[in-house]
Structure 1
């Protein structure tokens, strides 16, 4: 009897493992189609409270869907256009970066063995890097040269429009799951609104700090900090790395470490005090789960996967919470027998 039970459990575990592997493979193979669909659905869930309010005041559902589609796509395009100067600045500063790296290597060559070889490699790579600098495309050029970008954008726009337009009908069709879906949507919308507020504050503080210590393009650094902070852990690491490069380019000695150090202090304050207070304990997620979800999303679908990983994780967490399961089972028990 015990052997049979263990065998059944082993079969279920193996079936679960195979299902996860097959699902992961399907998600990765279908990236070109599934990534814009999931991104559009997440955005549709985020704007769903606003859509409901606009509908309640008498605005036709089609007009609401068109309006929210125009607003969301315009904001995404605006963010891309605003972040482009920061990337172009890095491209333009590559010669200064290589020169600063060479000076830094020379200053610590008496401590690190074999540093002369690294310095020679950097000097040897300079002409090739400078020759390729002018060939690097801008963000807009890279987007429009991508062969599948137009198709993915069309899928994203169509999914977002029709999801906002028919969301009520879709949820009504699932019967008893409708209250759970709407509760999960509200949780994701509240979480996104709270995180957006926190990220805007972090971006403002970052810009003011960079302006105070004299870092070039402080407003762009603030914008980058606000956008990349949607990718918890990984986004701040990218900003720290970028500010370390900026400090190396502009300052000398210990002063070059001041920009990343000050941002680390601001990000530590935001992550450990501000965000828990704004988001609240009800929407708090396990840090390990958050990290694994972001890394998995980044590996699976790139930056889009890292952005949608947390909303999807929160949505499923609320949907599968014991509280909601108990409510659903209780509602089913209260239904009169036919």
Structure 2
């Protein structure tokens, strides 16, 4: 008869196998249902960010329902204004794209010819034949189809955000009525929601500042379509490690082939992008978030690969946000806190401020709002 220690030793491989099998099934299910899950995730994160101004208005004396309406109207107006400006800039960029492609192609041929003159075994004519320039308009229908799909997804996400914000008005009341002892669950959920809101707010603020500074750098250097590159820098700043480089590549290439640009202007723009991302990503963001809200470099890059494979481009944009959400959820429970520490950058400190005050509206205030 085996003792308890031997039972535990034989049970660990079985538990590990079952955990890995469950993980494979969960990941396969998320990948299969990505068309449904992606809008839900986007709406959830946007709704979490929107709860901060709702609670701020509520502390000023505005009712919760009216605060939600004001927040939705303000955010909708701002997004509509930015969307119109970006759309106008984007279509101007599309109109100028054939000329930009021709200049890029000429520079490409010049580089190949220079390499061939240096003695490298390169045939410029043969390599140039690999690029078929006759079907340049074939991508236009595909682009219009993707834009139409993006508009439909945006409408679905906007509606989900509206319903989620109104659902949060009586969420705590529902939990208190559904559970016999709701205090521990509400406390853990409260800690999780505060930490997640803080992380999303800081990340969004850093991305917004990055986009504004990138737009300003493009304006000062003289790059065409600066608003488009600023919005691109804001969006790609959510992608770890390679997002900043991807955002800097198009305006730098455009500066190289521009009639008013050149190698020096492109170098200045690249230096500006490097300085912006170094200061904000390595100095400002860790101080605002704290080391406890960080991820190791390997985990951040692995999350980029995994979430990008599961959810596509949206998964790459939300890779760090999704992994940080998982880490915050694991850290909110004592039995899974060790997993959250494994996802961290290493030596943990108390840089991240603890939750000190109740920011969520208490149940009494929610009941009165209802």
Q: Which TM-score applies when normalising by structure 1?
A: 0.79
> Does 2:334 correspond to 1:325?
yes
- Among 116, 127, 137, which residue is 2:134 paired with? 127
In structure 1, what is the equivalent of residue 312 of structure 2?
302
Q: 1:150 to 1:237 in 2, by over 3 A?
A: closer
**Structure 1 unmatched runs, 5+:** 329-338
Q: CA deviation at 1:269?
A: 2.4
- 5 Å-filtered alignment, 1:240-259, equals 240-250=248-258, 251-253=261-263, 255-259=265-269
**Structure 2 unmatched runs, 5+:** 338-370
Q: Is the 8 A contact 1:290 1:310 kept in 2?
A: yes
In structure 2, what is the equivalent of residue 165 of structure 1?
169
> Does 2:279 correspond to 1:276?
no
Q: Which TM-score applies when normalising by structure 2?
A: 0.73
1:178-198 per-residue CA deviation (whole Å, 9 max, x = no partner) reads 111111211122222222332
In structure 2, what is the equivalent of residue 333 of structure 1?
none
Deviates more, 1:8-17 or 1:247-256: 247-256
Q: 1:46 to 1:69 in 2, by over 3 A?
A: same
Q: CA deviation at 1:20?
A: 0.9
Q: Distance in 2 between matches of 1:80 and 1:147?
A: 11
Q: Distance in 2 between matches of 1:93 and 1:150?
A: 26
In structure 2, what is the equivalent of residue 37 of structure 1?
40
Q: Distance in 1 between matches of 2:146 and 2:17?
A: 43
In structure 1, what is the equivalent of residue 108 of structure 2?
104
> Aligned with 2:293: secondary structure?
coil
Q: Is the 8 A contact 1:228 1:236 kept in 2?
A: yes
Q: Distance in 1 between matches of 2:282 and 2:212?
A: 18
In structure 2, what is the equivalent of residue 264 of structure 1?
274
Q: CA deviation at 1:72?
A: 4.2
Q: Distance in 1 between matches of 2:227 and 2:329?
A: 39
Q: CA deviation at 1:166?
A: 3.1
> Does 2:321 correspond to 1:311?
yes
Q: How many correspondences in the alignment?
A: 321
Q: Distance in 2 between matches of 1:206 and 1:151?
A: 28
In structure 1, what is the equivalent of residue 352 of structure 2?
none
Q: Distance in 2 between matches of 1:20 and 1:316?
A: 14
Q: Is the 8 A contact 1:48 1:185 kept in 2?
A: no
> Does 2:270 correspond to 1:288?
no
In structure 2, what is the equivalent of residue 211 of structure 1?
219
In structure 2, what is the equivalent of residue 14 of structure 1?
17
> Aligned with 1:282: secondary structure?
helix
Q: CA deviation at 1:34?
A: 1.9
Q: Is the 8 A contact 1:143 1:149 kept in 2?
A: no
Q: CA deviation at 1:56?
A: 4.1
Q: 1:212 to 1:65 in 2, by over 3 A?
A: closer
1:147-187 per-residue CA deviation (whole Å, 9 max, x = no partner) reads 96488447624542443333333553452111111112111
In structure 1, what is the equivalent of residue 197 of structure 2?
189
